[in-house]
């Protein structure tokens, strides 16, 4: 049988629990959107080179063990094989463990994603010395080069996309492949697309401006017509849509896009279901009626905290806690479910203040509360401050997952803080909260909160803390994959190390 030119496997890696067991689940809340993004870029290059390429998607969090690695190694249907591993910060140690196995078998593995882009120079040094190729920055311009280099046996060690992508020229993600992308493992199977990239705000805890920039300009926005076409096609496949923008309403094309969505939703007789992320600035109220007409059925608001002093200290000046309740009521008036992002573990918080704020969050009237532990992500202002002050208590990137406390808290130990968060889960997912939905949303609110309470309690019994609402799910049982002894856990850093990142990367290029 004639072999195809190239076989590529896109792997979304998992991470390890506190006992070194690989997290794997039978069902997850959402399926990673990265598969369609990379697949579209591979398709473009394959067409231009005139080669035949098969592309496969592997979500390690829903795999059974790590047998897929050996299956890829032993697959001989292709003249060349390669593995793309797209890792978030907390998935980077596992991504390196996977890449090492493929490297030992003589198969090219390229690591990219947020985890690599935010990594420090010591990670880059390790990857380079071990011969593992990696990509820093967005991939719309570098991935085509990587594919061409793989096809011609010229793969480089380092690829770096220094400038932000012109999204108007980038292809939309491929349409979801329900079978290959694992939608049968998704409890809330949505297809994702970014309409624009970046955020104009400068919150000290947020890495978005490092990853995507602060300039919300037309070049960082997709063509509205192409977005509408993609949305309609996905809707006809029977899938809800999530706009992956970190702040949808700050897109330069926001108003144009909303108008076009209103028209499309009218054509579809109001059947569109779209989830968006937005800031909770007071002036959003006037926009909510149009958002409802555009098919927005759920909104994730970055409320973060109800403490105005904390908001000011982290630079989130656009949020005004006194306006939250009016915003939420207006969303409810138009039948839009509100999910509030809540950050826990700012330096001066106490166990008592966390529980107090949990009760206040419930009192706001939001439908769902999604808690995140405050993590100083690499390259953020908070991270630099924590390194400078010697406040990092855990350098293991595996734990930078918003489920652990990795920075010293002034009034609590990490253990005390985790206990307070566990108690808070009982408040934010109480029976009262489950039954709090407004007219038209009651059943959805009940099911969402019931699921969150279910996996929170299961997590407490299985791993000693609540499972994550977004990343975790209903766990698998069976023999776990154990973290290798030589798995990288990170490097202690100084401020001088932070300054070496850019020069060192330049030296590799």
Phi, psi of 470 (to 5 degrees): -85, -45
**What share of the chain in percent tops pLDDT 90?**
75
**pLDDT of 502 higher than 80:** yes
Q: Comparing 43-47, 86-90, 212-216, 379-383, which segment has the lowest mean pLDDT?
A: 212-216
Would you state the pLDDT for residue 181? 84
Give 2's pLDDT tier (boundaries 50, 70, 90): low
Mean pLDDT value across residues 47-64:
92
Q: What is the mean pLDDT of residues 177-187?
A: 83
Under 8 Å between Cβ of 173 and 153? no
pLDDT exceeds cutoff 90 at 382: yes
pLDDT at residue 3 tops 80 = no
- Within 13 Å, how many C-alpha atoms sit on residue 495's CB side? 9
Give the burial string for 301-332 (b: 16+ CB within 10 Å, else e): bbbbbbbeebbeebebebbebeebeebbebbb
Average pLDDT over residues 75-93: 95
Contact yes or no for 137/32 (Cβ under 8 A): no
371, pLDDT greater than 60: yes
Contact 114, 87 (CB under 8 A): yes
Residues constituting the chain: 509
pLDDT, average across residues 250-261? 93
Q: What is the mean pLDDT of residues 264-289?
A: 93
Q: Cα separation of 24 and 17, whole Å? A: 10
- Taking the C-alpha atoms of residue 28 and residue 413, their distance in angstroms, rounded to an integer, is 31
Confidence of residue 1 (pLDDT cuts 50, 70, 90): very low
Which of 428, 421, 422, 482 minimizes the C-alpha distance to 458?
422
Q: Enter the tokens of residue 432.
A: 């009262």
The 10s digit of each residue's pLDDT in 298-352 is 999 989 999 988 988 998 888 888 899 999 999 999 999 999 999 999 988 999 9
Q: Bridge partners of 6?
A: 53, 80
Query: pTM of the prediction?
Result: 0.95
- Give the pLDDT of residue 294: 97
Q: Is the pLDDT at 217 greater than 90, yes or no?
A: no
Q: pLDDT at residue 4 above 80?
A: no
pLDDT of residue 360: 94
Contact 7, 75 (CB under 8 A): yes
Taking residues 131-145, report their average pLDDT: 93
Average pLDDT over residues 59-85: 95
With a cut of 90, say whether residue 295 has pLDDT above it.
Answer: yes
DSSP, collapsed to helix, strand or coil, labels residue 90 as helix
Q: What is the mean pLDDT of the chain?
A: 92
Domains of the chain plus CATH, in order, are: 4-167 (3.40.50.2300), 186-378+390-474 (3.80.30.20)
Specify the residue for token string 């490097």: 491
Structure tokens at 43: 């398709």
């Amino acid at each position: 049988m004639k072999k195809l030119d190239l076989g590529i496997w896109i792997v979304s890696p998992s991470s390890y629990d506190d006992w070194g067991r690989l997290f794997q689940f039978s069902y997850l809340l959402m399926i990673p959107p990265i598969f369609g993004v990379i697949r579209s870029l591979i398709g473009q290059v394959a067409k231009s080179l005139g080669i035949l390429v098969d592309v496969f998607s592997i979500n390690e969090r829903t795999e059974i063990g790590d047998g897929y690695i050996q299956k890829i190694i032993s697959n001989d249907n292709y003249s060349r094989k390669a593995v793309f591993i797209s890792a978030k910060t907390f998935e980077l140690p596992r991504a390196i463990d996977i890449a090492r196995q493929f490297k030992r078998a003589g198969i090219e593995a390229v690591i990219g994603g947020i985890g690599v882009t935010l990594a420090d120079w010591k990670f880059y040094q390790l990857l380079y010395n071990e011969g593992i190729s990696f990509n820093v920055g967005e991939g719309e311009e570098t991935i085509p080069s990587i594919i061409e280099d793989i096809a011609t046996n010229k793969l480089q060690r380092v690829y770096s996309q220094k400038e932000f992508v012109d999204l108007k020229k980038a292809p939309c993600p491929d349409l979801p492949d329900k079978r290959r992308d694992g939608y049968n493992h998704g409890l809330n199977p949505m297809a994702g697309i970014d309409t624009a990239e970046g955020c104009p705000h400068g919150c000290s805890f947020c890495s978005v401006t490092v990853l995507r920039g602060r300039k919300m300009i037309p070049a960082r926005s997709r063509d509205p017509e192409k977005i509408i076409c993609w949305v309609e096609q996905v809707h006809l496949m029977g899938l809800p849509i999530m706009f992956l923008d970190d702040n949808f309403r700050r897109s330069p094309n926001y108003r144009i896009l909303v108008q076009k969505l209103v028209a499309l939703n009218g054509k579809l007789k109001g059947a569109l279901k779209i989830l968006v992320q937005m800031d909770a600035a007071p002036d959003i109220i006037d926009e909510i009626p149009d958002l409802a007409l555009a098919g927005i059925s759920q909104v994730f608001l970055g409320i973060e905290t109800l403490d105005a002093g904390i908001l000011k200290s982290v630079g989130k000046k656009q949020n005004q806690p006194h306006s939250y309740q009016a915003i939420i009521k207006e969303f409810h008036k138009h039948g839009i479910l509100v999910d509030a992002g809540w950050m826990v573990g700012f330096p001066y918080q106490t166990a008592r203040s966390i529980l107090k704020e949990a009760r206040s969050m419930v009192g706001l009237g939001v439908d769902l509360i999604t808690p995140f532990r405050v993590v100083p992500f690499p390259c953020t202002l908070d991270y630099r401050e924590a390194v400078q002050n010697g406040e990092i208590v855990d350098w293991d990137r595996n734990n930078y997952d918003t489920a652990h406390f990795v920075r010293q808290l002034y009034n609590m130990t990490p253990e005390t803080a985790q206990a307070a968060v566990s108690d808070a889960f009982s408040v934010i997912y109480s029976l009262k909260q489950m039954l709090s939905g407004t007219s038209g949303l009651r059943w959805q609110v009940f099911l969402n909160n019931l699921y969150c309470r279910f996996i929170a309690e299961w997590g407490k019994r299985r791993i000693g803390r609540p499972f994550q609402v977004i990343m975790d799910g209903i766990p698998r049982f069976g023999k776990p994959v154990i973290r290798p002894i030589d798995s990288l856990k990170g490097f202690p850093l100084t401020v001088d190390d932070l300054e070496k990142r850019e020069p060192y990367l330049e030296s590799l290029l």
